[in-house]
């Protein structure tokens, strides 16, 4: 199981997304380097960024092994879902969407 995002995933971020990530990371950890986020750190970021907007759920579907991150604010129109075989990669897709 993949535990952290890798450098190739960080370069996917646009400058504005990198700035948001750095701001959050500096406030949480007091560090100014772009982090290779762990699964737990991505969940923490999603909680911090999404708390006032609604809720999110992380699940691993049994037979397929697909990892799913769902966002909802109570309205189907404002729901998002991110899937991948690796929970780390599904979380990363969700993180990119909130940055």
Residue-wise pLDDT for 39-85, tens only, equals: 999 999 988 887 666 677 888 887 777 888 887 765 555 568 899 99
Backbone φ and ψ for 69, nearest 5 degrees, come out as -120, 120
pTM across the whole model: 0.87
Task: Please check whether residue 75 is in contact with residue 88, taking contact to mean a CB–CB distance below 8 angstroms.
Answer: no
Task: Please check whether residue 93 is in contact with residue 5, taking contact to mean a CB–CB distance below 8 angstroms.
Answer: no
Residue-wise pLDDT for 1-44, tens only, equals: 899 999 999 999 999 999 999 999 999 889 888 899 999 999 99
Task: Please check whether residue 39 is in contact with residue 91, taking contact to mean a CB–CB distance below 8 angstroms.
Answer: yes
């Amino acid at each position: 199981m993949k535990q952290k995002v890798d450098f190739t995933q960080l370069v996917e971020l646009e400058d504005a997304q990198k700035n948001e990530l750095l701001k959050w990371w500096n406030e949480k950890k007091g560090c100014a380097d772009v982090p290779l986020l762990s699964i737990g750190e991505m969940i923490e970021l999603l909680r911090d960024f999404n708390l006032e907007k609604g809720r999110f759920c992380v699940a691993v579907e049994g037979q397929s092994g697909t990892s799913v991150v769902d966002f909802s604010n109570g309205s189907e129109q404002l729901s998002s879902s991110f899937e991948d075989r690796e929970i780390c990669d599904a979380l990363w897709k969700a993180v990119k969407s909130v940055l």
